[in-house]
Amino acid sequence: MGPYGDWLLEDTAAVCRDLDCGSAVYGEKRKDFPQSPVWWVSSDCVKKFAVRDCVYDSSSSSSSSSGLEVKCSDSVRLVSGPSLCSGSVQIWDQSWTWVCEGALDQQGAEVLCRELGCGAPSLLQGALSPLEQTFHCEGHESALMDCPRSGSETCSSGAAVNLTCSEPLRLVGGASRCAGTVEMRHRGEWRRMEPNRHWLLEDISASPVWGVLPYCVKKAAVRDCVDDYSSSFSSSSGLEVKCSDSVRLVSGPSLCSGSVQIWDQSWTWVCEGALDQQGAEVLCRELGCGAPSLLQGALSPLEQTFHCEGHESALMDCPRSGSETCSSGAAVNLTCSEPLRLVGGASRCAGTVEMRHRGEWRRMEPYGYNGPWVLEDTAAVLMFLLFFLRFSTPDG
């Protein structure tokens, strides 16, 4: 079978589905097969239809040295979840059966996530009680079905344990758990990511890397975006990133806007009234954004959690007077301005454009492959400045 188009892990999941195997662990195009007739299969089609319904009619006379190599988990899978690393747990025992609430503990979840080629478990629902626990894992096992079992109770889907594993990424060598060089686990091996030149690169000792396609990660999980040719890559480049390790904005229209969450063993919502203007300024600065321009549900001092003076480098450095959590519907919403400003002009809407990046303000140098800087490019900059900076100070 010859894959046609960009083949992602979700496409491999369709093959595993049609084989009645478990979840997709990896799938990649190989180009080292003997030249022979193949069936060309559309990756877009298999997301919705059976694989056999996605063969190109014109491929009956096709010959190629490419083929698709896949690995599916043969005894466990996550179903009905938002991603390949999240869902309700099923095991293969003559047929696919649900794993019940309470049958799996944290160590069992770690084994299961590792078996599926995912990262560590980040959310385990319905599995914290030891009552009727089925799997007794020590954590080192390579497959969930290798763990000792004390029963085979089955249940309906509504009573099944739900598990979310993190994506198989990690940061190494940084100052915190959310800073450092990006490594990805693929086909059982941890390697640095080798990104396209449009990403920020740093010099590192040459070693094997996984090549990652930057256009792909905008719409798919990072592990779905490994370059087909990268299994033999060696490079002295790598991707250095820094993420905020204790606060984030979610479900917003941009990276500088959304509902506020903080990390306190897990991600929890910051409630209305828990944050004032000074706290919002600290938070926006921590995220590398400009000054807060819109703060909803946070103007009342009632039940205020964070008491910032405004000079702190991180929101969690501010004194706290409680740790109340709430639902997403009662969370505070914050919009920070984009890190742009105009300097040296006759008004606040004229001047030289400067951008704050990696903590430093610098002029912008127009650059691109599509010709000179045109008025529509200027309009995009002004849109940010006019919309976001209406309430910002010049040194925000």
In this predicted model, which residue has the larger pLDDT, 157 or 116? 116
pLDDT per residue over 204-257, tens digit each?
667 888 888 777 777 777 877 777 666 667 788 777 777 777 899 888 877 788
357-364 contacts at long range (C-beta below 8 A, 24 or more positions apart): 357/288, 358/288, 359/288
* 315 touches 276 (CB < 8 A): no
pLDDT per residue over 124-153, tens digit each?
665 444 455 688 898 889 899 999 888 666
In this predicted model, which residue has the larger pLDDT, 348 or 225? 225
Helix extents (H) in 9-149 = 9-18, 43-46, 106-115
Q: How big is the CA angle at 158 (ends 153 and 160), to the nearest 5 degrees?
A: 45
- Amino acid 150: pLDDT: 80
**What CATH number was assigned to the domain covering residues 247-336?**
3.10.250.10
The CATH fold assigned to 76-165 is Mac-2 Binding Protein (3.10.250)
In this predicted model, which residue has the larger pLDDT, 240 or 5? 240
Distant-in-sequence, close-in-space partners of 373: CB < 8 Å, separation ≥ 6: 366
- Amino acid 34: pLDDT: 85
What does the mean pLDDT of the chain come to?
Answer: 77
- Beta-bridge mates of residue 164: 86, 123
Q: Which helix (H) or strand (E) holds 378?
A: helix 375-388
Would the CATH topology of 76-165 be identical to that of 247-336? Answer: yes
Based on DSSP, count helices (H) and strands (E) in the chain, helices before strands.
6, 24
Burial of 268 (0-12, 13-18, 19+ CB in 10 A): middle
Measured distance CA(275)–CA(260) in Å, rounded: 10
Q: Hey, where are the domains in the chain?
A: 2-72, 76-165, 170-242, 247-336, 340-391
Length of the chain, in residues: 396
- Amino acid 207: pLDDT: 82
pLDDT confidence bin for 80, thresholds 50/70/90:
confident
pLDDT confidence bin for 354, thresholds 50/70/90:
confident
- Beta-bridge mates of residue 184: 169, 191
Residue indicated by tokens 């030891």: 130
- Amino acid 190: pLDDT: 85
* 21 touches 58 (CB < 8 A): no
Helix extents (H) in 120-270 = 214-217
What mean pLDDT is predicted for residues 184-206? 71
Q: What is the DSSP string of 270-301?
A: PBTTS--HHHHHHHHHHTT---EEEEES----
